[in-house]
Structure 1
């Protein structure tokens, strides 16, 4: 059988029983993941006040989370090519839980910094490993919606956690917010230990993509891989600013209270959740109606980045906190589309035996913006003539990066022809697995 031939031509690959249960558990996994990420930004003002931190120091704290994020993602990405994802996911979640508890008592800036670095190392591989696990449960043409649901763990992690954590911060202490997250993490560990399973489609999908491995240098230099990294880099710049600086901006830049900021902070994530789910649904619908993955994934994910960047660029030029917040919410929320489409695009042309590593390297590269963005914002704020002016300059930089990354995505994302080129087939053969499966 050649690399382009697939078993049982014309026959639909059915979704195995239990696939949606695993999807829901991994949705909760990502929910915990992003609740862990957001807590520093949410408690930013109390932390800066208690520890007497400057904006540059707080920016360093936000960036520290990503110091080992990328390295860990790559290492674990290669590990999951050999080790069942069930056990890797379990180990990651244990690390998340354990690193929260030192903050319950009196803590120094150094201790907080170290715990965030270790937490980042544990969370770096999270999305790529979870996506790799889900792709063992769904055939290619059915992956976009589960990927969207997985991505929504991040949004709901903020939407659900922010009001609860903010209540703890306001009524008790920011220290206890960290402790609550540690307990929630341990609960997920227990549930996954009881219900988590490995997907059965690994061998089928390996044949559906390619029987032989493709050299990593070809995969990593393919234009679609580079396009995914470039496009998601810009989206993650906005996300990392949201995690670290959105709540302090609401309080110190716009003058809202901590209690008010807790509710306002969920707005970008509510809007972003809507965008992600719509993108997943529209993409899958377009593919079912015959669109190439270039259009149904590449274009659909890149255009919102450009539009979002242009909206964000208007922030410094309007008056009023309400309008500025609306532009910030819509502009950054549109970034979510790219997270839905890039993992499935990479899965189109990557052999299943190499997919875990490629998804991890992709995640490791685009999340490098998480190291840069919070520090850049902190430096800009500290050296601006006013706090608000500093924030506006930082968001303008964010807007330019979003537009540029979206344009690179439009230029480079061609997953359908990529698969044909890498496997030596033809463009006709590279339609989204139509020779092997039927759209549903």
Structure 2
């Protein structure tokens, strides 16, 4: 029955789908440029504002204080409101939240603006994924999801050299102002070109979907597995956003200019991993592999490998080897960002998909509150900065391995779909 309903879903990609994909890719570019600026300017900010590592860790975590709450609230909202307008409002919030830092902003202003920015960016990835799924049928979603996800990497790759130039030449305040202007430019482009995808309503009618109680969705093993697996990947990502540049400068002795160049390496490698994972997942699906293999195993196994590599960082011997282990170890985790939304979308009714993906995003990104704080406390308590950073990366390694193993055990989206389909049919009169 589940396979039959999937076959009824239209296989053609609507006209304009790739234009929207490009716009949403740029949306994520801006999103991650906004995220990286504090980490990139970490040393100048700590110097100017006289912040300890622990206090800077608090600043890095502050971005996530309202991140998850906002993600969940907006996730339920997009079940009823067009994603076109939600995306527009979110991007406008980002742009306006950057502008106060152009002036003589102190720690409190910076902290408040980062909290507001986090509230605006919390729902971003989930809403963008929900929006793009309205343009592509299930079996064609892996590649556009990978492209959308890679807005994060390219946001860093593009932004780091430009922002670092501004930081070095004009000061960190103007880097925030530049991001505000770029955000307003995207808002204008989306207002003119953004559209709502046509497939969501067609899918819901074609499958005659019955809603599933949210408790049943959220407690399903694959949903829990997605959260566990993505949590560790986001731990690594949030360390990269907040602490990697400071590690290069204070731990390894690089200059701000050198650190700015090196800081793009994890994102270049991560972009390669994510695009490869998207193509490989779609290819495996086309060749008849189950989504357990093409999505579950493909996403979780790299977490274990990446964690084992990260565990070797303190034994790297040279700065080059240590950087390489961090780059590859953290970059491998990116595959999970492609496959988890696909798996959740696979077994979740269309009418509930926006909320389900947003709740997933809200929970796993809690790592963004924990990881920068943990690193800040470890660095401050260590005998020297380098020892503190190396211990912090080993903590990340343990988290990666454990969550990767949990992912391998729990990610079974095909059987999840069949189980929930049977449960919906059994309870259709009650929940229709």
TM over 0.5: yes
2:88 pairs with 1:74: no
Separation of aligned partners in 2, 1:210 and 1:46: 57
Match of 1:54? 52
Distance apart, 1:171 and its partner CA? 0.6
Query: Could you list the per-position Cα deviations for residues 3-43 of structure 1 after superposition, in whole angstroms to 9, with x for gaps in the alignment?
Result: 7753875x852000000000000000000000000000000
Cα 1:210–1:12 shift into 2, 3 Å:
closer
Query: Could you list the per-position Cα deviations for residues 297-332 of structure 1 after superposition, in whole angstroms to 9, with x for gaps in the alignment?
Result: 000000100000000000001211111001010000
Match of 1:431? none
2:165 pairs with 1:202: no
Separation of aligned partners in 2, 1:389 and 1:8: 55
Aligned to 2:104, which of 87, 103, 106?
Answer: 106
Match of 2:214? 216
Separation of aligned partners in 1, 2:309 and 2:346: 32
5+ residue gaps, structure 2: 425-432
Match of 1:434? none
Query: Could you list the per-position Cα deviations for residues 59-115 of structure 1 after superposition, in whole angstroms to 9, with x for gaps in the alignment?
Result: 000000000000000000000000000000000000000000000010110110000
Separation of aligned partners in 2, 1:6 and 1:55: 54
Cα 1:425–1:67 shift into 2, 3 Å:
closer
2:5 pairs with 1:6: yes
Asked if the contact 1:90/1:189 (under 8 Å) is kept, the reply is yes
Which TM-score applies when normalising by structure 2?
Answer: 0.96
Match of 1:17? 15
Match of 2:295? 297
Separation of aligned partners in 2, 1:209 and 1:151: 28
2:125 pairs with 1:127: yes
Separation of aligned partners in 2, 1:405 and 1:136: 30
Asked if the contact 2:53/2:380 (under 8 Å) is kept, the reply is yes
Separation of aligned partners in 2, 1:5 and 1:279: 27
Secondary structure of 1:211's counterpart equals coil
Separation of aligned partners in 1, 2:150 and 2:301: 20
Asked if the contact 1:237/1:370 (under 8 Å) is kept, the reply is yes
Match of 1:375? 373
Separation of aligned partners in 1, 2:6 and 2:377: 56
Match of 1:403? 401
Cα 1:222–1:169 shift into 2, 3 Å:
same
Match of 1:361? 359
Distance apart, 1:206 and its partner CA? 2.0
Distance apart, 1:425 and its partner CA? 7.6
Aligned to 2:286, which of 288, 293, 310?
Answer: 288
Cα 1:81–1:255 shift into 2, 3 Å:
same
Query: Could you list the per-position Cα deviations for residues 375-412 of structure 1 after superposition, in whole angstroms to 9, with x for gaps in the alignment?
Result: 00000000001110000000000000000010000000
**Runs of 4 or more consecutive aligned structure 1 residues displaced over 4 Å after TM superposition:** 2-5, 207-210
Separation of aligned partners in 1, 2:54 and 2:75: 32
2:165 pairs with 1:178: no
Asked if the contact 2:292/2:413 (under 8 Å) is kept, the reply is yes
CA-atom RMSD, angstroms? Answer: 1.4
2:209 pairs with 1:225: no
Separation of aligned partners in 2, 1:207 and 1:425: 19
Separation of aligned partners in 1, 2:227 and 2:306: 18
Query: Could you list the per-position Cα deviations for residues 228-282 of structure 1 after superposition, in whole angstroms to 9, with x for gaps in the alignment?
Result: 0000000000000000000000000000000001100000000000000000000
Cα 1:180–1:3 shift into 2, 3 Å:
same
Cα 1:188–1:54 shift into 2, 3 Å:
same
2:255 pairs with 1:257: yes
Which piece of structure 1 moves more, 201-210 or 115-124? 201-210
2:38 pairs with 1:40: yes
Separation of aligned partners in 2, 1:309 and 1:211: 39
Match of 1:424? 422
Asked if the contact 1:213/1:351 (under 8 Å) is kept, the reply is yes
